[in-house]
């Protein structure tokens, strides 16, 4: 009986199952709780920026969740409970069986004592000296393909779009570089396209790069914008010079002169634009622009000297309000008519020289000269501007812009009534003449026009609009009396 009881006690003591105790540190639930706390604490330490990539363990199961960590720890705990001595002896070899992978995110540090207050049950390293680590949270192998330089052009572009650092030096052949550029353009990401173009600009000869960009207009536009931003004007001019580039790109380059503040640099830039493959008419305009700026530099230099020295009366009486540099052609002509109207045609600042050099039409020249001389109240110059002689020696007045416009310009410059009446009389259309004469109170013109029309009613009505006892009223009464007698 005692033997049977002893065997029974030996059976229960030798069993792998043990009775439940409250203070058992090797309890499986205790290990699971500790593992869960360790994984939760890892979330505050690890900052994984690849949320869009699925991470897997060496067993093929998703990694990173609490349930996965508990499952892994549970299985390891169960195996340790089946035979602690044997498991401790095999701990090192079982860990070596796992494939080693480089990972910056590991739970190992949590069990090395680097983070306090974390234990792992009976598997404390201080007791056994055996290196038994928790499973690591690993990145996918795809994250480390950069080190082997086996990214395709398409994959490289995708990684660049995600902001990853990629080395483009592995693309050595021209074909690989062009494929990389085409993939970048297909990705519709301007930053990636520009980065690839910078790489090609550094590694390809200029002639080859320009030739390949001829059929890649999107990439070409990005390179032009990049060169503008970096101020590489010489390379930009060389890029735009070939005839196969579109007119819009040439005009875009030509507009860059507006951003150049230094007048000498702007002049040199415009000189370089003359060689761009514009049409004959556009090339002529650019040539005129360059010539005008060159002429303005000469005029500005001389006039500044005259103004500061006080040698010219007109500059003393009418000081300049602004520089003539970079002004339009019409403004330059007005300036010349204002300050240099009487100069000989041989001088650069002469209005007639400007008219001849830039082929200014007669209408534009007359309008500008009239405005300048009227502003100075030089009525003799205004009169000479419209006076012509016939081949018989007769003089007459002729205005290519129409005398009604002459009257309006003179009135805006506060011309005397006597001057206005002279030019109102020259308006051919009767209705327009009466309208202008009435508007600007040219009474003599109104009275004479109604007299020529023999319109007694209008004369009588207009008599009420003039002052009583004035010369105009007496003139109207005389005309009305003569109409009655006739």
Residue 304 located in a structural domain: yes
Backbone region of residue 56 per phi and psi (left: phi > 0; alpha: psi in -120 to 50; beta: other values): beta
Query: Which residue segment(s) compose the domain that 340 sits in?
Result: 260-360
From 209, 232, 255, the end of a domain falls on 255
Domain match, 413 and 471 both: no
Domain match, 183 and 245 both: yes
Residue 56 located in a structural domain: no
Alpha-carbon distance values, 479 to 171, 242, 334, 461 (Å)? 101, 78, 45, 13
Residue 366 located in a structural domain: no
> What does the block give as tokens for 290?
């360059």
Query: Do 369 and 375 meet the contact criterion of CB atoms below 8 Å apart?
Result: no
**CA torsion through residues 322, 326, 327, 330, sign:** positive
Between residues 187 and 365, which one has the greater pLDDT? Answer: 365
Residue 181 located in a structural domain: yes
User: Mean pLDDT, to the nearest integer, of 411-436?
Assistant: 92
Between residues 251 and 21, which one has the greater pLDDT? Answer: 251
Alpha-carbon distance values, 225 to 128, 252, 271, 428 (Å)? 67, 10, 21, 57
Domain match, 411 and 448 both: no
From 229, 255, 281, the end of a domain falls on 255
Tokens 């000989």, residue located: 344
Alpha-carbon distance values, 150 to 153, 168, 185, 317 (Å)? 10, 11, 21, 79
Domain match, 477 and 429 both: no
Domain match, 404 and 310 both: no
Domain match, 267 and 345 both: yes
From 201, 235, 255, the end of a domain falls on 255
What is the per-residue pLDDT for 146? Answer: 46
Domain match, 437 and 448 both: no
Task: Read off the pLDDT band of 40 (50, 70, 90).
Answer: low
User: Mean pLDDT, to the nearest integer, of 365-372?
Assistant: 95
Query: Does pLDDT of 45 surpass 80?
Result: no
What is the per-residue pLDDT for 151? Answer: 78
Please give the model's pTM, rounded to 2 decimal places.
Answer: 0.52
What is the per-residue pLDDT for 145? Answer: 47
For 400-411, letters b (16+ CB in 10 Å) and e give: ebebbbbbbbbb
Cβ neighbours, 10 Å, residue 43:
11
Residue 425 located in a structural domain: yes
> What does the block give as tokens for 255?
């507009």
- Give the span between the Cα atoms of 103 and 420, in whole angstroms: 95
Q: What is the pLDDT of residues 288-347, one digit of tens each?
A: 999 999 999 999 999 999 999 888 889 999 999 889 999 999 999 999 999 999 999 889
User: Mean pLDDT, to the nearest integer, of 166-194?
Assistant: 88
Domain match, 431 and 383 both: yes
What is the per-residue pLDDT for 445? Answer: 92
Residue 50 located in a structural domain: no
Residue 104 located in a structural domain: no
What is the per-residue pLDDT for 97? Answer: 42
- The domain total for the chain is 4
Domain match, 161 and 236 both: yes
Nearest CA among 109, 101, 181, 108 for reference residue 143: 101
What is the per-residue pLDDT for 119? Answer: 42
Residue 368 located in a structural domain: no
What are the E-state strand segments in 50-140?
Answer: none
Query: Does pLDDT of 65 surpass 50?
Result: no
- Give the span between the Cα atoms of 375 and 390, in whole angstroms: 29
Domain match, 427 and 481 both: no
Query: Does pLDDT of 427 surpass 50?
Result: yes
Task: Read off the pLDDT band of 98 (50, 70, 90).
Answer: very low
Secondary structure (3-state) at 71: helix
Backbone region of residue 11 per phi and psi (left: phi > 0; alpha: psi in -120 to 50; beta: other values): alpha
Domain match, 402 and 449 both: no
Domain match, 343 and 427 both: no
């Amino acid at each position: 009986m005692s033997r049977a009881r002893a065997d029974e006690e030996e059976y229960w003591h030798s069993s792998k199952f043990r009775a439940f105790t409250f203070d058992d540190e090797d309890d499986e639930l205790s290990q699971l709780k500790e593992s869960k706390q360790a994984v939760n604490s890892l979330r505050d330490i690890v900052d994984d920026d690849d949320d869009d990539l699925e991470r897997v363990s060496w067993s093929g199961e998703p990694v990173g969740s609490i349930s996965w960590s508990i499952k892994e720890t549970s299985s390891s705990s169960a195996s340790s409970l089946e035979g602690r001595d044997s498991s401790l002896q095999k701990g090192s070899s079982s860990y070596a069986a796992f494939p080693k992978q480089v990972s910056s995110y590991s739970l190992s540090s949590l069990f090395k004592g680097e983070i306090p207050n974390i234990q792992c049950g009976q598997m404390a390293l201080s007791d056994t000296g055996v290196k038994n680590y928790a499973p690591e949270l690993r990145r996918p192998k795809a994250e480390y393909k950069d080190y082997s330089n086996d990214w395709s052009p398409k994959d490289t572009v995708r990684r660049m779009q995600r902001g990853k650092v990629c080395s483009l030096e592995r693309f050595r052949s021209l074909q690989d570089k062009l494929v990389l550029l085409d993939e970048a353009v297909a990705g519709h990401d301007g930053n990636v396209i520009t980065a690839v173009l910078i790489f090609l600009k550094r590694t390809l000869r200029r002639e080859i790069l320009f030739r390949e960009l001829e059929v890649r207009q999107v990439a070409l536009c990005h390179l032009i914008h990049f060169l503008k931003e970096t101020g590489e004007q010489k390379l930009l001019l060389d890029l735009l010079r070939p005839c196969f580039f579109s007119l819009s790109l040439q005009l875009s380059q030509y507009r860059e002169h507006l951003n150049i503040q230094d007048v000498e640099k702007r002049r040199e830039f415009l000189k370089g634009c003359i060689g761009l493959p514009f049409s004959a008419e556009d090339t002529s305009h650019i040539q005129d622009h360059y010539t005008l700026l060159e002429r303005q530099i000469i005029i500005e230099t001389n006039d500044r000297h005259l103004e500061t020295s006080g040698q010219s009366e007109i500059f003393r009486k009418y000081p300049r309000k602004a520089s003539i540099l970079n002004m339009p052609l019409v403004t330059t002509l007005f300036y010349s008519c204002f300050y240099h109207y009487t100069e000989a045609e041989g001088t650069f600042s002469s209005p007639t020289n400007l008219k001849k050099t830039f082929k200014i039409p007669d209408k534009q020249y007359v309008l500008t000269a009239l405005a300048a001389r009227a502003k100075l109240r030089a009525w003799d110059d205004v009169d000479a501007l419209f006076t012509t002689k016939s081949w018989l020696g007769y003089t007459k007045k002729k205005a290519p812009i129409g005398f009604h416009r002459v009257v309006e310009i003179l009135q805006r410059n506060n011309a005397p009534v006597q001057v206005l009446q002279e030019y109102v009389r020259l308006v051919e259309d009767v209705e327009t003449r009466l309208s202008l004469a009435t508007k600007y109170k040219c009474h003599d013109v109104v009275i004479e026009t109604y007299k020529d029309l023999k319109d007694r009613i209008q004369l009588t009505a207009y008599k009420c609009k003039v002052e009583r006892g004035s010369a105009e009223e007496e003139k109207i009464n005389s005309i009305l009396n003569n109409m009655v007698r006739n």
